[in-house]
Amino acid sequence: MPWQSVRILVDSKQAEPLSDALMETGALSVSLEDADAGTLDETPLFGEPDHPTAELWPHSIAMVLLDEGADVATTLAAAAELAHIPAPTEYTVETVAEQDWVRLTQSQFDPIPISPRLWIVPTWHDAPDRSAINLKLDPGLAFGTGSHPTTRLCLRWLDAHLQDGETVLDYGCGSGVLAIAAAKLGAARVEGVDIDAQAVTASRDNAELNDVAAHFGLPGELAPGQYDVVVANILTNPLKGMAPLLAARVRTGGHLVLSGILAEQADEVMAVYREWFVFELPAADEGWVRLMGVKK
């Protein structure tokens, strides 16, 4: 049975009431996305310490799944009335064909070569190179499958520069992929934090799947101390706001690896961190960059 996928442009004040009302008026699912994702106006949804953000993105997209026979205009009007907001006028409708969703999802995720010795391999695939360091990782609710350029950039740095016996902090760990890679590459102690409890759970599960020792928790659970390497693959705005926090976690002479930064944002991020770090030239991949600084 096919479905209808409706894409609605909404503002931040209307997004959540409309989403709740749509579920009450027959929607099969509703998800909210940042309409400015991938642009200079991209806004992080979650705040960080001393870096408050808006309750929702200034411009949001509601992705709504409806039955094939549902009347879209009638459903939207009923939801808007229930939410006490004007009925949406800017939306598009596409037909979603019936699929074997499990196989379709799996077909989109093949093993990912990070370097000649480092691969990310979904659990339903055999490792292309059994002699390599293979990270077992399936797509899930937490960011970080290795397919995004920012994740690959950080993994390549860890693969090329991490020394046996170093301590590593993965701030904004998502799926835990960077922390797990660090442990596989010989780090002596690895810790990861994320403000999303679901990401912490995913990271712990992935560490167990890969048989590595790594500790994950919420930011308030992280013990005081400094690290040889701190890696943070987040977004430009929270990275700028968190500069003192992250700088304090890197030992003198240690390395800070930052990503989630668009190429045109690199200079402004480095300007914020130069009080504490000396930076190498950025590394780029598909319009995104990775920054690496050494603590003064």
Q: Is 278 in contact with 250 (CB distance < 8 Å)? A: no
pLDDT for res 289: 97
Residue 111: Cβ within 10 Å count: 17
The pTM score is: 0.69
Residue 102: Cβ within 10 Å count: 9
- For residue 279, list its beta bridge partners: 293
Structure tokens at 202: 């995913």
- Helices (H) and strands (E) in the chain — how many of each? 9, 15
CA distance 216 to 202: 10
- In 3D, which of 200, 273, 199, 288 has the Cα closest to residue 242? 273
CB burial class (10 A; 0-12, 13-18, 19+) of residue 19? buried
CA distance 295 to 116: 29
Strands 91-96 and 3-11: antiparallel
Tens-binned pLDDT, residue by residue, of the chain (296 aa): 688 899 998 887 888 889 899 999 999 888 888 776 666 665 554 444 444 444 556 778 888 989 888 999 999 999 999 999 999 888 999 987 765 545 545 555 788 899 999 999 988 888 888 899 999 988 765 566 778 899 999 999 999 999 889 999 999 999 999 999 999 999 999 999 999 998 999 999 999 999 999 999 999 999 999 999 999 999 899 999 999 999 999 999 999 999 999 999 999 999 999 999 999 999 999 999 999 999 99
Residue ranges of domains in the chain: 3-98, 151-295
CB burial class (10 A; 0-12, 13-18, 19+) of residue 207? buried
- Fold classification of 151-295 is Rossmann fold (3.40.50)
- Fold classification of 3-98 is Alpha-Beta Plaits (3.30.70)
